[in-house]
A and B are shown apart, each in its own frame.
Chain A
């Protein structure tokens, strides 16, 4: 029914004549007859635009859009300024391919160059790539950057988002690196335990800041110890927190990565998100993926181009630093527009409000008996006891259009991970507390 084919029946005949055949079927003559699908695909017939609109809208309506969210754990609801959607919806940006033909891709290339600069600014490190798929793959790729012939062990803190740890393990099973998970002690990386693991075989340590439980880790101290053992420090950071929190550069990190979704991307049931990666200059040539550099054209005019391609798969094939041949260009642009719209003051405002509202929520929850599990500085997430009522309270909150904190599992069963951002108002928080009081 629906299709996007402009060629008419008459034109088709004319085109077939030019080719010198009678039927399109002839063009498939190379395919052995016995393989051809006989009765067509077992799929419903196509639809008109009005039909598909109804069908997909009905699917979307089966989801519950919560009017207020107190859940983060790797995906955060922040306000997205209108200008962000308007710019990233521009058709040329949306529909262009990877900017191989630099002469007609200066727009995309410059936006990536600007994005790279902003990521360097946020993390304080020297160089950035053009982005990778998401924060988890950025973490896994960063670890692969540290692999050396005699350094094959990656230490990963148990306080890292579990979805990220899982991704790191998948990648390392592929590239043959050994992953050692450092246990958590009172919500933080167990530094003493880590110390015992530090030997010559340690390539790097991956630390999340703030960690999965929202706590601010002693990154600098951890970094010093890892460096003393000739390992690299990789920090996975929340980009919003970077406005106020000590940066990876100030913590002497070698590589910084993170989930860029909070910078203007919707929750979108988990994707597309944005993996950012920055590093110290001595590791730049190990960065995976696309990198945009500045150069000049033959008239000496400033221009941008994909560069340092000798690292990449289309040149190096099996010897490439990674197989990645794309980036999340439109998501990178989203982040750049978001950061331009909020500016340095706005980003600090988002960070401070997120943090302040989380503290307010924590205080109010404590008043009604949901005690905080770790009494440590945190950013915008924290853990409380669930008083044995996680299931019950989540049910009641859902009925009220509120997505409560995330009930934790495993060793943390009985605890809830709460989150606030600038979007949560005092009234919303008070309303949440009122409902919880009655459960």
Chain B
């Protein structure tokens, strides 16, 4: 379809602004823009149709099953959107006097209290804008902690090779050297390897539990103890928190710092890539280093700056309206609803896994937590059908594929996370489609190599996109 610029007709436009009621001022010529400014000139109807057409070429959670592992694509309740759209939240300037933003401060404090309770941390800052941003903040806390104790040798962060790519990247941004350790086949930490690398230079360990293979690392207390005994801190990547809410807390596993993804675990929409929200939490001994402004109070609230803060992670107080949505969700579910969500997330994943285990190879055979990983390497050897092919086959069946080729430790991986908001019939349908694709792999592999055929476009030439980058429309 045409780009919005190609639809532009000179002279067309909307009537939005009233005439200026004060004398018009022009900038001095020396400071004025001289180059052309190409922006679309369209009617409101043109704009509306353009984006309506684009929406039809977009698969959202409301369009169908979205079992994208590690991303927790649960349903995004609409009440959250309505609440975050209230004028009393949207029309509030971030620099209003404290007495006029008591409701906003109450949102931040209440959300902090809920997250502390769920994660077992003592304080949480809402400032980080996404998971990776929260990781970076958390690592800066670890850095500040060691620096303030004069322990300047601690320059290394240990990251298992099963970890999300953001973990090592965040550690580098925070100025650490990354020590990668190989995991066991089930994605769990190899205790001997861990013992071998910890030492006086260990700043910390980054871990997600359940791990990226979908298993709870039962040695977790021993793992965190090994790091603590070496003088390091333990960082919890909250990507997989949806498996354990209200059942077990990262704080009780020996973690000192965490981030959570409000856009995964706490039902706020992903917006096609953002805005998310990645609050960073910690135990009390690290609370003085938290970023941004924190809120104190029970009935009347006030901002305060943590004594030894690492500083701002961004301007203002985080993606506030996203926090409003997550708080609405947490209060809706409450004491019983929160663990129930995790229990059903785990039930749904195990149901799918059990129904698929007779025909797909699982990376690990035991019960999983909220997601499981299939390895298609055997299938590929036998039929030439890869994880990519199965994924593309799913697209023709209106199912968003699982996460592909992750974790890196599993060959031809497909990582499936159904979430708790999917019904049994949706899971059954997806199971039957996955089985049918498997049959097709053996009977008509070529057709699968061609998939998808029903989508807006077919498989793309990604190589050309990177070799000859065309990143904008040229007028």
Contacts and interface: CB of A to CB of B under 8 A. Distances in A.
A330 B102 contact: no
B247 A36 contact: yes
A63 B321 CA distance: 14
25 contacts: A27-B347, A28-B247, A46-B335, A47-B331, A56-B331, A60-B87, A63-B96, A63-B101, A65-B88, A92-B59, A93-B51, A98-B272, A114-B4, A117-B5, A127-B469, A167-B313, A170-B312, A174-B143, A268-B92, A323-B169, A328-B275, A329-B271, A356-B23, A360-B22, A425-B21
B14 interface: yes
B334 A45 contact: yes
A308 B466 CA distance: 5
Contact of A44 (B335, B421, B462): B335
Interface stretch (B189-197, B248-256, B377-385): B248-256
Given A93-B272, A169-B311, A16 B347 contact: yes
Given A71-B93, A75-B93, A101-B391, A60 B88 contact: yes
A96 interface: yes
Nearest to B354: A19
Nearest to B48: A83
Interface string A278-314: 0000001000001111111111010101011110111
Contact of A350 (B17, B267, B452): B17
Contacts of B430: none
Interface residues of A, number: 201
A87 to B, nearest CB: 5
A356 B25 contact: yes
Interface in B18-43: 20-28, 30-35, 37-42
Interface in A140-177: 144, 161, 163-164, 166-167, 169-171, 173-176
B465 A293 contact: yes
A35 B218 CA distance: 10
B29 to A, nearest CB: 10
B324 interface: yes
Contact of B351 (A18, A83, A87, A171): A18
Interface string B332-362: 1111111111011011101100110000000
Question: Top 4 nearest A-B pairs by Cβ distance?
Answer: A270-B316, A60-B88, A46-B334, A330-B271
A106 B74 CA distance: 22
Contacts of B424: 6-7, 11, 14-15
Given A52-B332, A135-B315, A343 B106 contact: no
B315 A268 contact: no
Contact of A107 (B55, B75, B327, B471): B55
Contact of A29 (B139, B271, B367): B367
Interface in A34-48: 35-37, 40-47
A363 to B, nearest CB: 9
Nearest to A242: B33
A326 interface: yes
A369 interface: no
Which of A62, A290, A340 counts the most B-chain CB atoms under 10 A from its CB? A340
A429 B22 CA distance: 10
Q: Which of A5, A105, A144 has the most CB atoms of chain B within a 10 A radius of its CB?
A: A5
B407 to A, nearest CB: 11
Contact of B469 (A2, A24, A307, A331): A307
Given A18-B355, A105-B58, A270-B315, A97 B464 contact: no
Given A41-B117, A41-B339, A107-B54, A343 B42 contact: yes
Interface string A57-80: 101111111100101011101010
